[in-house]
Structure 1
Amino acid sequence: MPETFLDLGSVTAPSGVLVLGLAGWIDYWPELGRPLAERARAAAAAGGAHLRDGECEAVAVPAAADRPLQVRATVSPSPFDEEPTVATLEIELGLPWPGGPDRSTPVPLGDLPVDRCGMVIGDATGLAAWTGPDDESTDGLADVTYWGRYEEDAHARFGGERIAQYGAAGPYGWLDLPVAEATARASDLTDWQRRHHGKGLAVSVDRHTDHYRFQRAGWHHPLLVGAIEVGGCRVLGLDWDQGDHAVRHHGGRDWGRTYPVVLAATGDGGTVLRWTIPPYDEDEDE
Protein backbone atom coordinates (compact mmCIF):
# COMPACT_ATOMS: atom_id res chain seq x y z
CA MET A 1 0.00 0.00 0.00
CA PRO A 2 1.53 3.38 -0.99
CA GLU A 3 2.50 5.78 1.76
CA THR A 4 0.30 8.79 2.38
CA PHE A 5 2.25 12.05 2.35
CA LEU A 6 1.12 15.20 4.13
CA ASP A 7 1.84 18.60 2.57
CA LEU A 8 3.99 20.69 4.95
CA GLY A 9 4.29 23.76 2.76
CA SER A 10 7.14 25.07 0.64
CA VAL A 11 10.54 26.73 0.84
CA THR A 12 12.52 28.86 -1.60
CA ALA A 13 16.20 28.58 -2.49
CA PRO A 14 17.10 31.55 -4.74
CA SER A 15 20.82 30.76 -4.37
CA GLY A 16 20.23 27.33 -5.92
CA VAL A 17 21.48 25.56 -2.77
CA LEU A 18 19.12 23.99 -0.23
CA VAL A 19 20.02 22.98 3.33
CA LEU A 20 18.41 20.55 5.77
CA GLY A 21 20.11 21.11 9.10
CA LEU A 22 20.01 21.10 12.88
CA ALA A 23 18.11 24.26 13.85
CA GLY A 24 19.83 24.73 17.18
CA TRP A 25 23.23 25.12 15.50
CA ILE A 26 22.61 27.05 12.27
CA ASP A 27 24.02 30.29 13.69
CA TYR A 28 27.17 28.58 15.02
CA TRP A 29 28.69 27.67 11.63
CA PRO A 30 30.53 31.02 11.19
CA GLU A 31 32.19 30.58 14.60
CA LEU A 32 33.81 27.36 13.36
CA GLY A 33 35.49 28.88 10.31
CA ARG A 34 33.94 28.87 6.85
CA PRO A 35 30.30 30.05 6.71
CA LEU A 36 27.56 27.50 6.08
CA ALA A 37 26.72 29.08 2.70
CA GLU A 38 30.28 28.60 1.45
CA ARG A 39 30.45 24.98 2.60
CA ALA A 40 26.98 24.28 1.22
CA ARG A 41 27.83 25.69 -2.23
CA ALA A 42 30.80 23.36 -2.48
CA ALA A 43 28.66 20.39 -1.39
CA ALA A 44 25.94 21.25 -3.91
CA ALA A 45 28.50 21.62 -6.70
CA ALA A 46 29.48 18.00 -6.03
CA GLY A 47 25.85 16.91 -6.29
CA GLY A 48 25.09 17.10 -2.57
CA ALA A 49 26.81 16.07 0.65
CA HIS A 50 26.64 15.83 4.42
CA LEU A 51 28.36 18.64 6.34
CA ARG A 52 29.59 18.38 9.90
CA ASP A 53 31.76 20.57 12.10
CA GLY A 54 31.59 19.96 15.84
CA GLU A 55 27.91 19.87 16.84
CA CYS A 56 26.83 21.58 13.60
CA GLU A 57 25.37 19.25 10.98
CA ALA A 58 23.48 19.69 7.73
CA VAL A 59 22.95 18.22 4.29
CA ALA A 60 23.29 20.57 1.33
CA VAL A 61 22.06 19.87 -2.21
CA PRO A 62 21.47 21.74 -5.48
CA ALA A 63 17.90 22.95 -5.99
CA ALA A 64 15.86 25.01 -8.42
CA ALA A 65 16.26 28.71 -7.74
CA ASP A 66 13.19 29.92 -9.63
CA ARG A 67 10.26 28.23 -7.90
CA PRO A 68 8.85 27.16 -4.52
CA LEU A 69 10.00 23.70 -3.42
CA GLN A 70 7.30 21.56 -1.86
CA VAL A 71 7.94 19.76 1.41
CA ARG A 72 5.92 16.75 2.54
CA ALA A 73 6.10 13.95 5.09
CA THR A 74 4.71 10.61 6.11
CA VAL A 75 4.08 9.97 9.79
CA SER A 76 4.24 7.18 12.34
CA PRO A 77 3.01 7.09 15.96
CA SER A 78 5.42 8.22 18.64
CA PRO A 79 6.36 5.60 21.24
CA PHE A 80 6.05 8.39 23.80
CA ASP A 81 2.38 9.35 23.39
CA GLU A 82 1.17 7.77 20.10
CA GLU A 83 0.94 11.20 18.48
CA PRO A 84 2.09 11.46 14.84
CA THR A 85 5.78 12.13 14.20
CA VAL A 86 7.78 12.41 11.00
CA ALA A 87 8.68 9.06 9.44
CA THR A 88 9.81 10.26 6.00
CA LEU A 89 10.58 13.85 5.06
CA GLU A 90 10.75 14.70 1.36
CA ILE A 91 11.72 17.98 -0.29
CA GLU A 92 11.16 18.45 -4.01
CA LEU A 93 14.31 19.96 -5.52
CA GLY A 94 12.81 21.06 -8.85
CA LEU A 95 15.67 19.43 -10.77
CA PRO A 96 15.89 16.37 -13.06
CA TRP A 97 17.19 13.11 -11.61
CA PRO A 98 21.03 13.18 -11.71
CA GLY A 99 21.68 9.54 -10.86
CA GLY A 100 21.72 7.91 -14.33
CA PRO A 101 19.15 5.66 -16.05
CA ASP A 102 18.50 3.47 -12.98
CA ARG A 103 16.07 5.57 -10.97
CA SER A 104 15.31 2.78 -8.49
CA THR A 105 18.49 3.26 -6.46
CA PRO A 106 18.70 6.38 -4.27
CA VAL A 107 22.00 8.26 -3.94
CA PRO A 108 23.16 8.25 -0.28
CA LEU A 109 24.36 11.58 1.12
CA GLY A 110 24.97 10.64 4.74
CA ASP A 111 22.79 10.80 7.84
CA LEU A 112 21.45 13.30 10.36
CA PRO A 113 20.39 13.11 13.99
CA VAL A 114 17.18 14.77 15.20
CA ASP A 115 18.02 18.03 16.95
CA ARG A 116 16.01 18.54 20.13
CA CYS A 117 15.79 22.19 19.02
CA GLY A 118 14.22 21.13 15.73
CA MET A 119 15.28 20.97 12.10
CA VAL A 120 15.39 23.74 9.51
CA ILE A 121 14.95 23.62 5.72
CA GLY A 122 16.04 26.66 3.76
CA ASP A 123 18.29 28.48 1.34
CA ALA A 124 21.98 28.21 2.23
CA THR A 125 22.68 31.89 1.64
CA GLY A 126 19.47 33.09 3.29
CA LEU A 127 20.26 31.12 6.44
CA ALA A 128 23.35 33.31 6.95
CA ALA A 129 20.90 35.76 8.55
CA TRP A 130 19.50 33.12 10.96
CA THR A 131 19.28 34.13 14.62
CA GLY A 132 19.51 31.29 17.12
CA PRO A 133 18.20 30.75 20.67
CA ASP A 134 20.89 32.92 22.28
CA ASP A 135 20.61 35.86 19.87
CA GLU A 136 18.76 39.14 20.24
CA SER A 137 15.18 39.67 19.10
CA THR A 138 14.85 40.39 15.39
CA ASP A 139 12.01 42.86 15.94
CA GLY A 140 12.61 44.12 19.49
CA LEU A 141 9.74 42.00 20.84
CA ALA A 142 9.41 38.98 23.12
CA ASP A 143 6.74 36.67 24.55
CA VAL A 144 6.23 35.89 28.24
CA THR A 145 4.63 32.62 29.35
CA TYR A 146 4.07 31.00 32.73
CA TRP A 147 2.71 27.65 33.88
CA GLY A 148 2.78 25.20 36.76
CA ARG A 149 1.12 24.34 40.04
CA TYR A 150 0.31 27.94 40.96
CA GLU A 151 -0.53 29.24 37.50
CA GLU A 152 -4.15 30.02 38.44
CA ASP A 153 -3.03 32.04 41.47
CA ALA A 154 -0.60 33.91 39.24
CA HIS A 155 -3.28 34.50 36.63
CA ALA A 156 -5.62 35.97 39.24
CA ARG A 157 -2.85 38.36 40.29
CA PHE A 158 -1.21 39.26 36.95
CA GLY A 159 -3.64 38.28 34.19
CA GLY A 160 -2.52 37.11 30.76
CA GLU A 161 -4.24 35.00 28.10
CA ARG A 162 -4.21 31.28 27.48
CA ILE A 163 -1.82 30.76 24.57
CA ALA A 164 -3.32 27.74 22.81
CA GLN A 165 -1.08 25.17 21.16
CA TYR A 166 -1.86 22.05 19.17
CA GLY A 167 -3.52 19.45 21.39
CA ALA A 168 -3.11 21.51 24.57
CA ALA A 169 -4.60 24.51 26.32
CA GLY A 170 -1.14 26.05 26.52
CA PRO A 171 0.38 28.31 29.17
CA TYR A 172 -0.78 31.74 30.29
CA GLY A 173 1.11 34.76 29.06
CA TRP A 174 1.48 37.76 26.80
CA LEU A 175 2.66 37.89 23.18
CA ASP A 176 4.56 40.58 21.28
CA LEU A 177 5.76 42.75 24.15
CA PRO A 178 8.79 45.05 23.92
CA VAL A 179 11.74 43.11 25.31
CA ALA A 180 12.18 45.44 28.31
CA GLU A 181 8.49 45.12 29.23
CA ALA A 182 8.59 41.34 28.82
CA THR A 183 11.62 41.11 31.08
CA ALA A 184 9.93 43.29 33.72
CA ARG A 185 6.73 41.20 33.73
CA ALA A 186 8.72 37.98 34.05
CA SER A 187 10.66 39.50 36.94
CA ASP A 188 7.41 40.47 38.69
CA LEU A 189 6.09 36.92 38.31
CA THR A 190 9.31 35.41 39.61
CA ASP A 191 9.48 37.76 42.61
CA TRP A 192 5.84 37.02 43.48
CA GLN A 193 6.46 33.27 43.29
CA ARG A 194 9.45 33.49 45.61
CA ARG A 195 7.55 35.54 48.18
CA HIS A 196 4.39 33.43 48.22
CA HIS A 197 5.22 29.91 47.09
CA GLY A 198 8.95 29.43 46.68
CA LYS A 199 8.45 26.95 43.83
CA GLY A 200 5.65 25.77 41.57
CA LEU A 201 5.64 28.32 38.75
CA ALA A 202 7.79 28.28 35.61
CA VAL A 203 8.29 31.59 33.81
CA SER A 204 9.82 32.03 30.34
CA VAL A 205 10.83 35.07 28.29
CA ASP A 206 11.26 34.19 24.60
CA ARG A 207 12.87 36.83 22.40
CA HIS A 208 11.71 36.84 18.78
CA THR A 209 14.74 35.13 17.27
CA ASP A 210 14.31 33.20 14.04
CA HIS A 211 14.56 29.97 16.01
CA TYR A 212 11.73 30.99 18.31
CA ARG A 213 9.66 32.44 15.47
CA PHE A 214 9.55 29.11 13.61
CA GLN A 215 8.61 27.32 16.82
CA ARG A 216 5.80 29.80 17.42
CA ALA A 217 4.65 29.50 13.79
CA GLY A 218 4.25 25.74 14.34
CA TRP A 219 2.20 25.90 17.56
CA HIS A 220 -1.01 24.85 15.80
CA HIS A 221 0.45 22.22 13.46
CA PRO A 222 0.28 18.52 14.45
CA LEU A 223 3.92 18.07 13.38
CA LEU A 224 5.02 21.44 14.83
CA VAL A 225 5.91 22.79 11.38
CA GLY A 226 6.21 26.54 10.97
CA ALA A 227 7.11 28.76 8.00
CA ILE A 228 8.98 32.06 8.40
CA GLU A 229 11.04 34.39 6.22
CA VAL A 230 14.79 34.54 6.82
CA GLY A 231 17.23 36.46 4.64
CA GLY A 232 14.50 37.11 2.09
CA CYS A 233 13.76 33.38 1.72
CA ARG A 234 10.86 31.21 2.85
CA VAL A 235 12.15 28.74 5.46
CA LEU A 236 10.40 25.81 7.13
CA GLY A 237 11.20 24.82 10.68
CA LEU A 238 10.23 21.44 12.09
CA ASP A 239 10.14 21.47 15.88
CA TRP A 240 10.29 18.24 17.85
CA ASP A 241 8.11 17.09 20.74
CA GLN A 242 10.45 16.88 23.71
CA GLY A 243 8.91 13.68 25.05
CA ASP A 244 9.29 11.91 21.71
CA HIS A 245 12.85 13.19 21.37
CA ALA A 246 13.76 11.88 24.82
CA VAL A 247 12.40 8.41 24.05
CA ARG A 248 13.63 7.99 20.46
CA HIS A 249 16.43 10.42 19.65
CA HIS A 250 18.20 11.49 22.86
CA GLY A 251 21.96 11.16 22.55
CA GLY A 252 21.93 11.78 18.80
CA ARG A 253 25.03 10.82 16.89
CA ASP A 254 26.98 9.84 20.02
CA TRP A 255 24.40 7.08 20.59
CA GLY A 256 24.05 6.05 16.98
CA ARG A 257 20.67 7.74 16.61
CA THR A 258 21.12 9.09 13.11
CA TYR A 259 18.92 8.59 10.07
CA PRO A 260 19.79 8.28 6.36
CA VAL A 261 19.47 11.14 3.88
CA VAL A 262 19.37 10.35 0.16
CA LEU A 263 18.57 11.81 -3.21
CA ALA A 264 15.69 9.84 -4.74
CA ALA A 265 13.99 9.91 -8.13
CA THR A 266 10.33 10.74 -8.55
CA GLY A 267 8.01 8.99 -10.98
CA ASP A 268 8.25 11.86 -13.46
CA GLY A 269 12.05 11.98 -13.46
CA GLY A 270 12.47 14.69 -10.85
CA THR A 271 14.54 14.58 -7.67
CA VAL A 272 13.69 14.76 -3.98
CA LEU A 273 15.81 15.00 -0.86
CA ARG A 274 14.58 12.25 1.46
CA TRP A 275 15.27 11.81 5.18
CA THR A 276 13.91 8.57 6.66
CA ILE A 277 13.35 7.86 10.37
CA PRO A 278 12.58 4.14 10.79
CA PRO A 279 10.01 2.78 13.26
CA TYR A 280 11.05 2.76 16.89
CA ASP A 281 12.77 -0.41 18.07
CA GLU A 282 12.62 -0.99 21.82
CA ASP A 283 15.51 -3.44 21.58
CA GLU A 284 17.84 -0.60 20.64
CA ASP A 285 17.61 0.77 24.18
CA GLU A 286 18.34 -2.53 25.90
Structure 2
Amino acid sequence: MSDAHVDLGTVTAPSGTLVLGMAGWIDHWPRAGRPLSERARTAAAVGGGHLHGPENSEPSGWMYEAIAVAAAAGRPLRATARTSASPFDGEPTIAVLEVALGLPWSGPDDSPVRLGDLPVDRCGMVLGDARALDGFTGVDGRSTDGLADVTYWGKYQDTVHARFGGDRIPQNEGEDGPRGWLDLPLAEAEALAERLRTWIREGPGNGLMIAVDAHTDFHRFTRAAWNHPLLAGVIDLDGCRVLGLGWDPGDHSMRHRGERAYGQVYPVTLEARGGEAILRWTIPPYDPDL
Protein backbone atom coordinates (compact mmCIF):
# COMPACT_ATOMS: atom_id res chain seq x y z
CA MET A 1 0.00 0.00 0.00
CA SER A 2 3.03 2.29 -0.29
CA ASP A 3 2.18 5.58 -2.00
CA ALA A 4 -1.51 4.65 -1.87
CA HIS A 5 -4.49 6.85 -1.10
CA VAL A 6 -6.35 5.59 1.96
CA ASP A 7 -9.80 6.66 3.11
CA LEU A 8 -9.70 7.27 6.87
CA GLY A 9 -13.41 8.00 7.27
CA THR A 10 -15.36 11.12 8.08
CA VAL A 11 -15.45 13.49 11.04
CA THR A 12 -18.02 16.10 12.00
CA ALA A 13 -17.56 19.59 13.44
CA PRO A 14 -20.96 21.01 14.45
CA SER A 15 -19.23 23.87 16.30
CA GLY A 16 -17.71 25.02 12.99
CA THR A 17 -14.16 24.59 14.33
CA LEU A 18 -11.97 21.58 13.57
CA VAL A 19 -8.86 20.64 15.57
CA LEU A 20 -5.88 18.44 14.67
CA GLY A 21 -3.91 17.85 17.83
CA MET A 22 -1.71 15.57 19.91
CA ALA A 23 -3.92 12.81 21.29
CA GLY A 24 -1.79 12.14 24.35
CA TRP A 25 -2.31 15.71 25.57
CA ILE A 26 -5.80 16.77 24.50
CA ASP A 27 -7.11 16.54 28.07
CA HIS A 28 -4.29 18.82 29.31
CA TRP A 29 -5.68 21.92 27.60
CA PRO A 30 -7.61 23.14 30.67
CA ARG A 31 -4.19 23.74 32.24
CA ALA A 32 -3.57 26.38 29.56
CA GLY A 33 -6.15 28.66 31.19
CA ARG A 34 -8.94 28.60 28.61
CA PRO A 35 -10.71 25.56 27.15
CA LEU A 36 -9.35 24.22 23.89
CA SER A 37 -12.61 25.10 22.11
CA GLU A 38 -12.31 28.82 23.02
CA ARG A 39 -8.70 29.06 21.88
CA ALA A 40 -9.51 27.09 18.72
CA ARG A 41 -12.51 29.28 17.87
CA THR A 42 -10.37 32.42 18.17
CA ALA A 43 -7.70 30.97 15.86
CA ALA A 44 -10.25 29.70 13.32
CA ALA A 45 -11.92 33.13 13.15
CA VAL A 46 -8.74 34.67 11.72
CA GLY A 47 -8.09 31.94 9.16
CA GLY A 48 -6.71 29.19 11.39
CA GLY A 49 -3.53 28.77 13.35
CA HIS A 50 -1.27 26.87 15.71
CA LEU A 51 -2.08 26.51 19.42
CA HIS A 52 0.11 25.49 22.33
CA GLY A 53 0.17 25.92 26.08
CA PRO A 54 1.82 28.91 27.78
CA GLU A 55 5.58 28.74 28.12
CA ASN A 56 5.36 28.24 31.90
CA SER A 57 3.03 25.22 31.61
CA GLU A 58 4.11 21.94 33.18
CA PRO A 59 5.83 19.89 31.92
CA SER A 60 6.14 22.27 28.95
CA GLY A 61 3.89 24.55 26.95
CA TRP A 62 5.02 22.75 23.81
CA MET A 63 4.00 19.37 25.16
CA TYR A 64 0.45 19.91 23.94
CA GLU A 65 -0.12 21.42 20.53
CA ALA A 66 -2.90 21.65 17.97
CA ILE A 67 -3.94 23.29 14.72
CA ALA A 68 -7.43 24.86 14.56
CA VAL A 69 -9.36 25.81 11.42
CA ALA A 70 -12.89 26.72 10.41
CA ALA A 71 -14.93 23.89 8.90
CA ALA A 72 -18.45 23.29 7.64
CA ALA A 73 -20.77 22.63 10.56
CA GLY A 74 -23.51 20.76 8.75
CA ARG A 75 -21.80 18.02 6.76
CA PRO A 76 -19.35 15.14 7.21
CA LEU A 77 -15.72 16.03 6.51
CA ARG A 78 -13.71 13.31 4.78
CA ALA A 79 -10.15 12.53 5.87
CA THR A 80 -7.73 10.73 3.57
CA ALA A 81 -4.05 9.83 3.66
CA ARG A 82 -1.24 9.20 1.24
CA THR A 83 1.32 6.73 2.50
CA SER A 84 5.02 5.95 2.34
CA ALA A 85 6.95 2.94 3.59
CA SER A 86 8.28 2.98 7.15
CA PRO A 87 12.05 2.57 7.53
CA PHE A 88 11.31 0.43 10.59
CA ASP A 89 9.40 -2.45 8.99
CA GLY A 90 8.47 -1.35 5.48
CA GLU A 91 4.79 -1.05 6.39
CA PRO A 92 2.75 1.95 5.16
CA THR A 93 2.74 5.09 7.27
CA ILE A 94 1.00 8.42 6.80
CA ALA A 95 2.96 10.79 4.56
CA VAL A 96 0.14 13.27 3.89
CA LEU A 97 -3.06 13.73 5.85
CA GLU A 98 -5.81 15.69 4.08
CA VAL A 99 -9.20 16.81 5.34
CA ALA A 100 -11.88 18.36 3.13
CA LEU A 101 -13.21 21.25 5.20
CA GLY A 102 -16.48 21.70 3.28
CA LEU A 103 -15.91 25.43 2.82
CA PRO A 104 -15.14 27.47 -0.32
CA TRP A 105 -11.56 28.61 -0.76
CA SER A 106 -11.27 32.25 0.31
CA GLY A 107 -7.64 33.05 -0.45
CA PRO A 108 -6.63 35.80 -2.92
CA ASP A 109 -5.11 33.07 -5.12
CA ASP A 110 -4.49 29.33 -4.89
CA SER A 111 -1.24 29.63 -2.94
CA PRO A 112 -1.07 27.38 0.18
CA VAL A 113 -1.38 29.12 3.55
CA ARG A 114 0.91 27.77 6.25
CA LEU A 115 -0.80 27.50 9.63
CA GLY A 116 2.13 26.14 11.61
CA ASP A 117 3.65 22.75 12.23
CA LEU A 118 3.05 19.75 14.47
CA PRO A 119 5.13 16.87 15.78
CA VAL A 120 3.88 13.29 15.61
CA ASP A 121 2.77 12.50 19.15
CA ARG A 122 4.01 9.06 20.19
CA CYS A 123 0.49 8.50 21.54
CA GLY A 124 -1.05 9.43 18.19
CA MET A 125 -3.12 12.32 16.87
CA VAL A 126 -6.76 13.34 17.11
CA LEU A 127 -8.93 15.12 14.56
CA GLY A 128 -12.32 16.41 15.61
CA ASP A 129 -14.74 19.09 16.69
CA ALA A 130 -13.14 21.59 19.07
CA ARG A 131 -16.08 21.70 21.47
CA ALA A 132 -16.38 17.92 21.65
CA LEU A 133 -12.67 17.60 22.44
CA ASP A 134 -13.13 19.72 25.58
CA GLY A 135 -14.57 16.57 27.16
CA PHE A 136 -11.96 14.12 25.83
CA THR A 137 -10.68 11.62 28.41
CA GLY A 138 -7.02 10.92 27.81
CA VAL A 139 -4.46 8.23 28.57
CA ASP A 140 -4.86 8.42 32.35
CA GLY A 141 -8.51 9.46 32.39
CA ARG A 142 -11.49 7.70 33.90
CA SER A 143 -13.53 5.05 32.16
CA THR A 144 -16.41 6.67 30.29
CA ASP A 145 -18.70 3.65 30.76
CA GLY A 146 -17.36 1.97 33.90
CA LEU A 147 -15.70 -0.79 31.88
CA ALA A 148 -12.13 -1.86 31.14
CA ASP A 149 -10.13 -4.39 29.14
CA VAL A 150 -7.53 -6.77 30.60
CA THR A 151 -4.77 -8.17 28.39
CA TYR A 152 -1.64 -10.21 29.04
CA TRP A 153 1.34 -11.37 26.99
CA GLY A 154 4.90 -12.55 27.43
CA LYS A 155 6.97 -15.53 28.54
CA TYR A 156 4.30 -17.35 30.55
CA GLN A 157 1.24 -16.47 28.49
CA ASP A 158 0.47 -20.09 27.55
CA THR A 159 0.71 -21.21 31.17
CA VAL A 160 -1.55 -18.37 32.30
CA HIS A 161 -4.03 -19.14 29.53
CA ALA A 162 -4.25 -22.79 30.60
CA ARG A 163 -5.01 -21.76 34.18
CA PHE A 164 -7.06 -18.57 33.79
CA GLY A 165 -8.31 -18.51 30.20
CA GLY A 166 -8.68 -15.38 28.12
CA ASP A 167 -9.54 -14.94 24.44
CA ARG A 168 -7.04 -14.09 21.74
CA ILE A 169 -7.42 -10.37 20.96
CA PRO A 170 -6.13 -9.49 17.48
CA GLN A 171 -4.86 -5.93 17.67
CA ASN A 172 -3.13 -5.63 14.31
CA GLU A 173 -3.70 -7.20 10.92
CA GLY A 174 -1.75 -10.43 10.54
CA GLU A 175 -0.73 -10.60 14.21
CA ASP A 176 -2.04 -12.87 16.92
CA GLY A 177 -2.20 -10.19 19.60
CA PRO A 178 -2.34 -10.74 23.36
CA ARG A 179 -4.92 -12.75 25.29
CA GLY A 180 -7.42 -11.27 27.67
CA TRP A 181 -10.95 -10.12 28.40
CA LEU A 182 -12.83 -7.15 26.97
CA ASP A 183 -15.59 -5.01 28.45
CA LEU A 184 -15.34 -6.04 32.09
CA PRO A 185 -16.65 -3.88 34.94
CA LEU A 186 -13.69 -1.78 36.08
CA ALA A 187 -13.48 -3.27 39.59
CA GLU A 188 -13.69 -6.79 38.19
CA ALA A 189 -10.96 -6.02 35.65
CA GLU A 190 -8.61 -4.68 38.32
CA ALA A 191 -9.27 -7.65 40.60
CA LEU A 192 -8.61 -10.11 37.77
CA ALA A 193 -5.35 -8.40 36.86
CA GLU A 194 -4.24 -8.54 40.50
CA ARG A 195 -4.96 -12.29 40.61
CA LEU A 196 -2.74 -12.76 37.56
CA ARG A 197 0.04 -10.65 39.11
CA THR A 198 -0.16 -12.54 42.39
CA TRP A 199 -0.06 -15.94 40.71
CA ILE A 200 2.94 -14.96 38.58
CA ARG A 201 4.74 -13.39 41.54
CA GLU A 202 4.22 -16.43 43.76
CA GLY A 203 4.82 -18.92 40.96
CA PRO A 204 7.13 -18.69 37.95
CA GLY A 205 8.23 -15.10 38.57
CA ASN A 206 8.79 -12.24 36.13
CA GLY A 207 7.93 -12.84 32.51
CA LEU A 208 4.33 -11.76 31.99
CA MET A 209 3.03 -8.32 31.03
CA ILE A 210 -0.47 -7.38 32.21
CA ALA A 211 -2.47 -4.31 31.20
CA VAL A 212 -5.74 -2.90 32.48
CA ASP A 213 -7.12 -0.35 30.03
CA ALA A 214 -10.07 1.68 31.27
CA HIS A 215 -12.50 2.70 28.54
CA THR A 216 -11.26 6.25 28.16
CA ASP A 217 -11.84 8.06 24.88
CA PHE A 218 -8.16 7.50 24.15
CA HIS A 219 -8.53 3.74 24.59
CA ARG A 220 -11.68 3.72 22.47
CA PHE A 221 -9.56 5.21 19.66
CA THR A 222 -7.03 2.47 20.18
CA ARG A 223 -9.66 -0.27 19.96
CA ALA A 224 -11.30 1.28 16.90
CA ALA A 225 -7.91 1.26 15.14
CA TRP A 226 -6.79 -2.26 16.04
CA ASN A 227 -7.34 -3.71 12.59
CA HIS A 228 -6.69 -0.63 10.45
CA PRO A 229 -3.38 -0.67 8.52
CA LEU A 230 -2.71 2.97 9.49
CA LEU A 231 -4.01 2.56 13.06
CA ALA A 232 -6.89 4.92 12.30
CA GLY A 233 -10.22 4.70 14.10
CA VAL A 234 -13.36 6.82 14.42
CA ILE A 235 -15.37 7.09 17.64
CA ASP A 236 -18.43 9.03 18.74
CA LEU A 237 -17.62 11.80 21.20
CA ASP A 238 -20.44 14.01 22.45
CA GLY A 239 -22.42 13.28 19.29
CA CYS A 240 -19.48 14.03 16.98
CA ARG A 241 -17.45 11.71 14.80
CA VAL A 242 -13.82 12.06 15.89
CA LEU A 243 -10.80 10.41 14.23
CA GLY A 244 -7.84 9.00 16.12
CA LEU A 245 -4.53 8.18 14.40
CA GLY A 246 -2.07 5.87 16.10
CA TRP A 247 1.62 5.46 15.33
CA ASP A 248 3.69 2.30 15.36
CA PRO A 249 6.23 2.65 18.22
CA GLY A 250 9.12 1.42 16.07
CA ASP A 251 8.34 3.81 13.24
CA HIS A 252 7.91 6.70 15.68
CA SER A 253 11.27 5.92 17.27
CA MET A 254 13.09 5.93 13.93
CA ARG A 255 11.38 8.92 12.31
CA HIS A 256 9.79 11.17 14.94
CA ARG A 257 11.51 10.51 18.28
CA GLY A 258 12.31 13.67 20.20
CA GLU A 259 9.45 15.45 18.47
CA ARG A 260 9.60 19.27 18.67
CA ALA A 261 12.63 19.36 20.96
CA TYR A 262 14.66 17.75 18.17
CA GLY A 263 13.07 19.61 15.27
CA GLN A 264 10.81 16.72 14.28
CA VAL A 265 7.85 18.88 13.23
CA TYR A 266 5.89 18.90 9.99
CA PRO A 267 4.00 21.68 8.18
CA VAL A 268 0.22 22.08 8.28
CA THR A 269 -1.29 24.11 5.47
CA LEU A 270 -4.60 25.28 4.07
CA GLU A 271 -4.80 24.56 0.36
CA ALA A 272 -7.24 24.98 -2.50
CA ARG A 273 -8.68 22.08 -4.47
CA GLY A 274 -11.49 22.54 -6.93
CA GLY A 275 -12.47 25.80 -5.27
CA GLU A 276 -12.73 24.22 -1.79
CA ALA A 277 -10.47 24.43 1.26
CA ILE A 278 -8.33 21.45 2.27
CA LEU A 279 -6.37 21.00 5.50
CA ARG A 280 -3.09 19.23 4.78
CA TRP A 281 -0.41 17.87 7.13
CA THR A 282 2.71 16.78 5.25
CA ILE A 283 5.16 14.29 6.79
CA PRO A 284 8.03 13.80 4.32
CA PRO A 285 9.08 10.22 3.56
CA TYR A 286 12.12 8.96 5.46
CA ASP A 287 15.48 10.16 4.15
CA PRO A 288 18.40 8.20 5.67
CA ASP A 289 20.84 10.99 4.73
CA LEU A 290 19.14 13.59 6.91
2:287 and 2:157 map into 1 onto residues whose CA distance is 38
Partner of 1:62: 70
Partner of 1:38: 38
Structure 1 residue ranges without an equivalent (≥5): none
2:139 maps to amino acid: P
- Percent sequence identity over matched residues? 63
1:241 and 1:155 map into 2 onto residues whose CA distance is 27
Partner of 1:114: 120
1:78 pairs with 2:90: no
1:173-252 paired onto structure 2 within 5 Å: 173-252=180-259
1:144 pairs with 2:175: no
1:16 pairs with 2:16: yes
1:195 maps to amino acid: E
1:178 and 1:4 map into 2 onto residues whose CA distance is 41
2:112 maps to amino acid: P
Partner of 2:56: none
Q: Could you tell me how far 1:4 is from its partner in structure 2?
A: 4.2
TM-score by length of 1: 0.96
1:98 pairs with 2:111: no
1:266-277 paired onto structure 2 within 5 Å: 266=273, 268-277=274-283
2:174 and 2:120 map into 1 onto residues whose CA distance is 22
Give the secondary-structure state (helix, strand or coil) at the position aligned to 1:79. Answer: coil
Q: Could you tell me how far 1:32 is from its partner in structure 2?
A: 2.0
Post-superposition CA distance 1:157-190 (Å, at most 9, x none) = 1100000122311000000000000001100111
1:282 and 1:203 map into 2 onto residues whose CA distance is 36
1:231 and 1:46 map into 2 onto residues whose CA distance is 26
1:92 and 1:83 map into 2 onto residues whose CA distance is 26
Give the secondary-structure state (helix, strand or coil) at the position aligned to 2:206. Answer: coil
1:263 maps to amino acid: L
Q: Could you tell me how far 1:192 is from its partner in structure 2?
A: 1.1
TM-score by length of 2: 0.95
Partner of 2:5: 5
1:98 maps to amino acid: S
2:36 and 2:174 map into 1 onto residues whose CA distance is 36
- Which runs of 4 or more aligned residues in structure 1 lie more than 3 Å from their structure 2 counterparts after TM superposition? none
Post-superposition CA distance 1:62-120 (Å, at most 9, x none) = 000000000000000100000110000000000011212x21x2100010000011100
Partner of 2:160: 154
Q: Could you tell me how far 1:283 is from its partner in structure 2?
A: 2.8
Q: Is the 8 A contact 1:8 1:72 kept in 2?
A: yes
Post-superposition CA distance 1:141-164 (Å, at most 9, x none) = 000000001100110111000001
Give the secondary-structure state (helix, strand or coil) at the position aligned to 1:21. Answer: strand
1:238 and 1:61 map into 2 onto residues whose CA distance is 19
Residue from 280, 283, 289 that aligns with 1:283? 289
Residue from 253, 258, 264 that aligns with 2:265? 258
1:92 maps to amino acid: A
Q: Is the 8 A contact 1:12 1:235 kept in 2?
A: yes
2:91 and 2:201 map into 1 onto residues whose CA distance is 36
Q: Could you tell me how far 1:193 is from its partner in structure 2?
A: 1.1
1:253 and 1:167 map into 2 onto residues whose CA distance is 33
Structure 2 residue ranges without an equivalent (≥5): 54-60
1:30 maps to amino acid: P
Give the secondary-structure state (helix, strand or coil) at the position aligned to 2:116. Answer: strand
Give the secondary-structure state (helix, strand or coil) at the position aligned to 1:125. Answer: helix
Q: Could you tell me how far 1:129 is from its partner in structure 2?
A: 1.1
Give the secondary-structure state (helix, strand or coil) at the position aligned to 1:153. Answer: helix
Q: Could you tell me how far 1:47 is from its partner in structure 2?
A: 0.5
Q: Could you tell me how far 1:197 is from its partner in structure 2?
A: 2.0
Q: Could you tell me how far 1:212 is from its partner in structure 2?
A: 0.5
2:222 and 2:230 map into 1 onto residues whose CA distance is 11
Partner of 2:49: 49
